[in-house]
């Protein structure tokens, strides 16, 4: 592909105290791609997203966007540059309404009309949020809060949306819904880096994927190729 590289990590290492959680991984995400990062518990997926979004310091390696280093910047600077993470556990503002949460997502913007238009776009993607727009976020179900967290991230107009386990803890119906929405967001032109333990679903949606194991990238390929790879099937797809 010749699309611009919106995110590129090279030989990235991240440690907690003396323990290396990410041991020299490299990957890239090009504009318009949906890239999935899969792997078992503790493989280092969340740590990778935290490093990319500046919430966990890196030990060594480089992180670039469009040829410019973005390593060692704070999370807020990275949000301004369009790298926006929806964390595991979501972190919505529980005592604010849905609409207020979405407005908070736009705090870095001052284009009033654009913000209103984007709230309408988010409501088009998530009709459930529109129905409940005056409800307090804290009173919504886990799946609804996941939708809200994704909607709020979209309000920043991300260049790359980084999703950490969006299906975690949700009922099967809500899992279906969330993956549908991830596909929809991608089809609307948003570049997505998706971290998931649900390897089947994540690879079905992915243009490309990376498999992580014990802090290292052990396999990479198109979503289709990884889905049909016997090693992936044996280790991650429960076959
Ligand atoms: P999961 O799918 O279970 O969330 P993961 O692939 O996202 O796993 P990480 O959360 O990145 O994995 O964890 C990688 C390793 O780093 C694990 O061994 C974990 O115990 C360790 N780790 C994560 N966060 C911390 C922390 N704050 N302090 C110390 N060790 C940590």
224: which 2 tokens?
């289709």
Higher pLDDT, 22 or 146: 22
126: which 2 tokens?
């998530």
Rounded to the nearest angstrom, the distance between the alpha carbon of 93 and the centre of ligand 1 is: 25
Q: What is the pLDDT of residue 239?
A: 61
- Convert the pLDDT of each residue in 36-75 to its tens digit: 999 988 999 999 999 999 999 999 999 999 889 998 888 8
Q: Can you give the length of the chain in residues?
A: 239
pLDDT mean over 74-80: 86
**Beta-bridge mates of residue 38:** 196, 211
Q: What is the pLDDT of residue 88?
A: 78
Is residue 118 within 8 A of residue 104, CB to CB? The reply is no
Rounded to the nearest angstrom, the distance between the alpha carbon of 167 and the centre of ligand 1 is: 18
- Helix %, strand %, coil % of the chain (to 5): 40, 30, 35
Would you say residue 236 has pLDDT above 90? no
- Is the C-beta atom of 45 inside 6 A of ligand 1? yes
User: What ipTM goes with this model?
Assistant: 0.94
* This model's pTM is above 0.95: no
- Convert the pLDDT of each residue in 93-135 to its tens digit: 889 999 999 999 888 888 999 999 999 999 998 999 999 999 9
Would you say residue 90 has pLDDT above 80? no
Lowest mean pLDDT among 6-15, 81-90, 136-145, 220-229: 81-90
Give the pairing type, strands 191-196 and 160-164. parallel
- Is the C-beta atom of 25 inside 6 A of ligand 1? no
pLDDT band at 235 (very low <50, low <70, confident <90, very high): confident
Q: Which residues of 154-183 are buried (b: 16+ CB within 10 A; e: fewer)?
A: bbbbbbbbbbbbbbbebeeebbebbbebbe
Cα radius of gyration (the chain): 17
Would you say residue 200 has pLDDT above 80? yes
Rounded to the nearest angstrom, the distance between the alpha carbon of 1 and the centre of ligand 1 is: 32
Residue 86: CB atoms within 10 A of its CB come to 24
Is residue 142 within 8 A of residue 89, CB to CB? The reply is no
pLDDT mean over 196-224: 96
Would you say residue 76 has pLDDT above 90? no
- Is the C-beta atom of 41 inside 6 A of ligand 1? yes
Is residue 129 within 8 A of residue 99, CB to CB? The reply is no
- Is the C-beta atom of 47 inside 6 A of ligand 1? yes
Is residue 35 within 8 A of residue 206, CB to CB? The reply is yes
pLDDT mean over 140-157: 90
- Is the C-beta atom of 38 inside 6 A of ligand 1? no
Would you say residue 82 has pLDDT above 70? yes
- Is the C-beta atom of 197 inside 6 A of ligand 1? yes
Rounded to the nearest angstrom, the distance between the alpha carbon of 46 and the centre of ligand 1 is: 7
- Residue the block writes with tokens 């596909």: 183
33: which 2 tokens?
């791609």
Rounded to the nearest angstrom, the distance between the alpha carbon of 42 and the centre of ligand 1 is: 5
């Amino acid at each position: 592909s010749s699309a611009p590289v919106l995110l590129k990590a090279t030989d990235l290492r991240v440690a907690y105290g003396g323990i290396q959680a990410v041991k020299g991984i490299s990957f890239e995400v090009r504009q318009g791609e949906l890239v999935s990062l899969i792997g078992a518990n503790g493989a280092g997926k969340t740590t990778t997203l935290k490093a990319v979004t500046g919430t966990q310091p890196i030990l060594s390696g480089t992180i670039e966007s469009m040829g410019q280093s973005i390593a060692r910047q704070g999370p807020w600077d990275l949000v301004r540059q369009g790298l926006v993470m929806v964390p595991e556990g979501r972190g919505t503002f529980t005592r604010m309404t849905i609409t207020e949460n979405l407005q908070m997502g736009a705090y870095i913007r001052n284009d009033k009309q654009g913000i209103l238009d984007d709230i309408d776009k988010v409501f088009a993607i998530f009709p459930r949020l529109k129905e409940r727009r005056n409800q307090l976020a804290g009173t919504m179900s886990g799946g609804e809060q996941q939708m809200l967290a994704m909607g709020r991230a979209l309000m920043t107009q991300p260049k790359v949306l980084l999703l950490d386990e969006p299906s975690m803890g949700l009922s099967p119906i809500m899992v279906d819904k969330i993956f549908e929405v991830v596909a929809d967001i991608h089809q609307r032109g948003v570049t997505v880096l998706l971290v998931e333990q649900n390897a089947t679903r994540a690879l079905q949606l992915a243009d490309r994927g990376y498999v992580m194991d014990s802090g290292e990238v052990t396999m990479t390929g198109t979503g289709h190729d990884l889905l049909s790879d016997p090693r992936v099937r044996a280790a991650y797809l429960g076959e």
